[in-house]
Chains A and B, each alone.
Chain A
Amino acid sequence: MNAHDSSQTDVRLDDSPELRPEREATVGSAGRRRRPQRGERLMVPDAEFRSYYGRPVLQETPWQAPDIAGYLFLGGLAGASSVLAATAELSGRPRLARACKTGALCALGGSLYALIHDLGRPQRFLYMLRTFKVTSPMSVGTWILTAYGPQAGLAAATAVTGLFPRLGRAATMGAGLTGGAVATYTAALVANTAVPAWHDGHRELPYLFAGSAAASAGGLGMLAAPLAEAGPARRLALAGAVAEYAAAKRMERRMGPVAEPLKRGPGGLLLRLGTGLSLSGAAAGILLGRRDRRAAVAAGAALLAGAICTRFGIFHAGLDSSRDPAYTVEPQRARLSHPSQAPS
């Protein structure tokens, strides 16, 4: 071949598209057809799962468990405690209300510490307030906390000092209303990721988180309020624990193989422990916590411990599911081969 009349052997010296011969090279076209089949053997689609040296498809989520799993618990506790504080105040249970308000403020303080501590650049925390994005649950959550925080703080401060009771009552109601959002938005926060066990649970996680938050707030109420006023706390704990259990069961059933990390490994263990503690704490609260102060304290502590286990369990199950490429690849493969069965 003459190098002058063809670009095939030219060394490229500029970016002119006409001088790009290599990109047209047809690999695999050389050689004889020695086999009956034409060209390469098209393999029967592999039944077994394939990956790139078993490496995860997703990046490791850079969140620290004590910070973010801790925040899932504390945020839920704060939000639901404010809700309980509001109903307690309106129904004339001042000591239950005060206990819940102080508890909510402490949990909120812990939440803010955890959230800021987990940032790669904590001094840029306020950059969260640069925008509002409904596509980002973290942005929405920041604004929910911005609305909720001062009201929860005011509610607790007025309850403890006894000053400005009318302002305190307004703040209590405001914190109660926003508290519901504080306790549940974190479900959208974790579910709006590519982490299989979190995202695939996006329908049930809000209920699971609401239930867990209610159970922990009930536990706090039982722990800190006198028996005579703690009736709503006991019943809220029971309702929360049952809702959490039901949502978790439903989630596991619907998620299929992706639910494995919720049942096995550290995540599975924590979740089982969490359910056990919550349900037994709630039952003990209702059955024994009405008359016996020590039983009420023990039940409340079990509920709080149960909620911690549940949140850390969900957190770790998610991380586990993102570390194994099978949980990313296989559901997507299944979706491609059976588009009609794809969950909407």
Chain B
Amino acid sequence: MTLLEPDDPATSSGYADHPERMGFFTDTSVCIGCKACEVACKEWNHVPEDLLGFTGMSFDNTAGLGANTWRHVAFVEQPRRLGRQESGLVAADLPAGTVEAARDRTPASLGLPSHDGATGSASDMEFRWLMASDVCKHCTHAACLDVCPTGSLFRTEFGTVVVQEDICNGCGYCVPACPYGVIAKREDDGRVWKCTLCYDRLTVGQEPACAKSCPTDSIQFGELGELRERAARRVEQLHEAGVESARLYGHDPGDGVGGTGAFFLLLDEPEVYGLPPDPVVTTRDLPAMWRHVAVAATALLTVAAAVTWGSRT
């Protein structure tokens, strides 16, 4: 692939005159898990309902991104401190009745908050709760867009990646191509769907519905260059505050997808949130694949000729 301006996908997609590249900076350190983004997205984009049930995954009953979930809030409970924070949780001794009822299973304390700090025999329990709102990354080198055979997926003037539902024929190729597992096929509809970064709102100067609704500004929308600077300052600020696990994800134009239009501040490794630690756009290897295909096809013709004429008939 020859992409002249690696960090400016709109220009490399042929837009001569276009607005700044827009994106999301999702700062998960201030996410409170309210799921306002999930709701706002569904409302604005008329996304149909999906899972109605319980997953057993902390407060996450959405489960993951998909055709009918374009924002997904992940919840992770961890037995470790967040910065210098005291959790106020105690590991209490279990009542005898509970132990008995558990029989051969191992009962675990849920560490419910203590009011007087002296419940049971417990000491302070380390605990933190990670929440993160996930979304399509609007990759600089988007695999979904590369492989789409109909041209349904396209690059907007804002540098984002959008599906045209009147073109998509539901071939499904973009689905396994996306290294983040974002885009998916809506079963009763046959076409694929994902976050559009509210293309309709952007064209009239509005911010996307999720960013608009986020009460803590965990989701920040803006010009990507400015967001990256802001994010770098934010990581420093958190490190100074003792939150040394803060790190950025997707901000680096040198990564396997050329950086993402939607990037994140995370408090643990990406895979803990269900994100791939080092995603690559597989089209990067496509020149090598075409070479091998050409050699294999030629070998097939050569061998067929050889077995026909190479020996006595």
Q: Quote the shortest CB–CB distance from B174 to chain A (angstroms).
A: 9
- Which one, A101-109, A175-183, A256-264, is touching chain B? A175-183
Contact of A180 among B64, B241, B298, B309 (CB under 8 A): B298
**In the assembled complex, A165 has its CB within 8 A of some CB on chain B:** no
Q: A231: which B residues are within 8 A, CB to CB?
A: 311, 313
**In the assembled complex, B115 has its CB within 8 A of some CB on chain A:** no
| Contact A207 B311, beta carbon cutoff 8 Å | no
Q: B80: which A residues are within 8 A, CB to CB?
A: 40-41, 43
| Contact A59 B271, beta carbon cutoff 8 Å | no
| Contact A59 B191, beta carbon cutoff 8 Å | no
Q: A43: which B residues are within 8 A, CB to CB?
A: 80
Contact with B along A248-281 (1 / 0, CB 8 A): 0000000000000000000000000000000000
Q: B94: which A residues are within 8 A, CB to CB?
A: none
Give Cα A185–Cα B101 distance, bound, in whole angstroms. 60
Closest residue of chain A to B56 (Cβ to Cβ) is A53
B104-142 interface with A by 8 A CB criterion: 126, 128
Give Cα A142–Cα B234 distance, bound, in whole angstroms. 48
Give Cα A241–Cα B25 distance, bound, in whole angstroms. 52
**In the assembled complex, A184 has its CB within 8 A of some CB on chain B:** yes
**In the assembled complex, B30 has its CB within 8 A of some CB on chain A:** yes
Contact of A29 among B74, B83, B152 (CB under 8 A): B83
Contact of B82 among A40, A42, A86, A122 (CB under 8 A): A40
**In the assembled complex, A188 has its CB within 8 A of some CB on chain B:** yes
- Which one, B11-19, B46-54, B176-184, is touching chain A? B176-184
Q: With A52-B74, A135-B283 given, is the CB distance from A329 to B295 under 8 Å?
A: no
| Contact B292 A28, beta carbon cutoff 8 Å | no
Closest residue of chain A to B285 (Cβ to Cβ) is A202
Contact of B271 among A27, A57, A61, A87 (CB under 8 A): A57
| Contact A31 B74, beta carbon cutoff 8 Å | no
Q: A55: which B residues are within 8 A, CB to CB?
A: 63-64, 274
Chain A contact-residue range equals 35 or more
Give Cα A120–Cα B83 distance, bound, in whole angstroms. 48
Contact of B292 among A15, A53, A128, A203 (CB under 8 A): A203
**In the assembled complex, B175 has its CB within 8 A of some CB on chain A:** yes
- Which one, A151-159, A190-198, A293-301, A305-313, is touching chain B? A190-198
Q: With A56-B181, A57-B275, A232-B308 given, is the CB distance from A25 to B168 under 8 Å?
A: no
| Contact B169 A128, beta carbon cutoff 8 Å | yes
Q: Quote the shortest CB–CB distance from A65 to chain B (angstroms).
A: 13
Q: B152: which A residues are within 8 A, CB to CB?
A: 127
Closest residue of chain A to B132 (Cβ to Cβ) is A52
| Contact A135 B217, beta carbon cutoff 8 Å | no
**In the assembled complex, A164 has its CB within 8 A of some CB on chain B:** no
**In the assembled complex, B39 has its CB within 8 A of some CB on chain A:** no
| Contact B278 A335, beta carbon cutoff 8 Å | yes
| Contact B278 A120, beta carbon cutoff 8 Å | no
**In the assembled complex, A83 has its CB within 8 A of some CB on chain B:** yes
Give Cα A23–Cα B244 distance, bound, in whole angstroms. 18
**In the assembled complex, B238 has its CB within 8 A of some CB on chain A:** yes
Give Cα A191–Cα B276 distance, bound, in whole angstroms. 18
**In the assembled complex, B207 has its CB within 8 A of some CB on chain A:** yes
The interface centre, meaning the residue of A88, A119, A142 with most chain B CB atoms within 10 A of its CB, is A119
| Contact A59 B181, beta carbon cutoff 8 Å | yes
Q: B74: which A residues are within 8 A, CB to CB?
A: 52
Q: With A28-B83, A192-B282, A332-B278 given, is the CB distance from A131 to B243 under 8 Å?
A: no
| Contact A236 B84, beta carbon cutoff 8 Å | no
Give Cα A31–Cα B88 distance, bound, in whole angstroms. 10
**In the assembled complex, B45 has its CB within 8 A of some CB on chain A:** no
Contact with B along A232-244 (1 / 0, CB 8 A): 1001100110010
**In the assembled complex, A291 has its CB within 8 A of some CB on chain B:** no
A197-253 interface with B by 8 A CB criterion: 198-199, 202-203, 205-207, 209-210, 213-214, 231-232, 235-236, 239-240, 243
Closest residue of chain B to A39 (Cβ to Cβ) is B242
Contact of A121 among B148, B169, B273, B277 (CB under 8 A): B169
| Contact B292 A206, beta carbon cutoff 8 Å | yes
Q: A203: which B residues are within 8 A, CB to CB?
A: 288, 292
Please, could you name 29 A-B residue pairs with CB atoms under 8 Å apart, sorted by A? A23-B30, A27-B85, A27-B243, A29-B243, A33-B84, A39-B83, A39-B242, A40-B81, A40-B82, A40-B245, A52-B271, A53-B274, A59-B66, A59-B183, A60-B175, A83-B304, A91-B309, A119-B170, A121-B168, A127-B152, A127-B169, A130-B150, A187-B296, A193-B177, A194-B143, A194-B177, A231-B311, A239-B303, A322-B176
Interface pairs A-B: 4 shortest CB-CB:
A120-B170, A28-B83, A120-B190, A39-B242
Q: Which residues of B contact A (CB under 8 A)?
A: 1, 27, 29-30, 55, 57, 63-64, 66, 74, 76, 80-86, 126, 128, 143, 146-152, 167-173, 175-185, 189-192, 207, 212, 215-218, 220, 234, 237-238, 241-245, 269, 271-279, 282-283, 285-286, 288-290, 292-293, 295-301, 303-305, 307-309, 311, 313
